[in-house]
Amino acid sequence: MGTQIFAPSYPSSRPLITLGDHVLKRRLDLKLDRQQTAEMIGTDKLSIANWEHNRSGPRPRYIPKIIDFLGYTPKDLFTPNTFGEEIRVYRQIHGLTQKQMADKIGIDKGTMRYLEKEKHEPTKRMIEKITACIEDNLKKP
C-alpha cells in the first residue's frame, strides 16, 4: 500500500483562526500547490505545509508577503485592543522582529517583549517614541 498524505479540510467548513488557515484557503481558492504558494511568498513548501497544519507560524519577515498573497489583512489576527497588542500588530505587519522594532525605537529587546506582553508599564516618553515611530511609518506611501 502507498503512503496516504493528510490533506487539510477546506477552510470554509471551519473558522479561519490562524494565519495558516487563511493561507490554506487562499491557496485552494487560487488552485495553487504549496510550491507555487511558497515561491510567491518567498519561502519553501515545507513552511507552507507547517503553517497550514498549524505546526508553526510564519517568521515576522514573511508576514508582509503573506498579507500581499492574501490580498487583505486578517482583522481577527491583526486588530489590537491594547497598547501592547498595537505594538505587536504594527511590528508583525511590517515584518519586524522584536529586536528590529526595539532598535527602531531605541530600547532593548527585553523591554520590547515586556511591552508587548504588557508586563512593563511604558513611560510617557516611551509611549511618545513608539507612537511617533508608528505614525511616521503610516504616513509613508
- On whether residue 6 sits in a domain, the answer given is no
| C-alpha span between 90 and 84 (Å, rounded) | 10
Top-ranked range on mean pLDDT: pick from 8-12, 63-67, 92-96, 131-135: 63-67
Model pLDDT, residue 2: 43
What are 82-112's pLDDT values in tens digits?
A: 889 988 998 999 999 999 999 988 888 999 9
Q: Give the domain CATH number at 110.
A: 1.10.260.40
Model pLDDT, residue 140: 57
Q: Are 94 and 57 members of one domain?
A: no
- On whether residue 77 sits in a domain, the answer given is no
What are 40-67's pLDDT values in tens digits?
A: 999 999 999 999 999 999 999 999 999 9
| C-alpha span between 135 and 100 (Å, rounded) | 17
Coil, helix or strand at residue 97? coil
Model pLDDT, residue 37: 97
Query: Model pTM?
Result: 0.76
Mean pLDDT score, 13-38: 92
Q: Are 66 and 96 members of one domain?
A: no
- On whether residue 75 sits in a domain, the answer given is no
- Here the contacts of 31-37 (C-beta below 8 Å, separation 24 or greater) are 37/69
Domain stops at, among 30, 48, 70? 70
Which is higher by pLDDT, 37 or 133?
A: 37
Q: Is the pLDDT of residue 7 over 80?
A: no
Q: Which domain holds residue 87?
A: 83-139
Tally of domains in the chain: 2
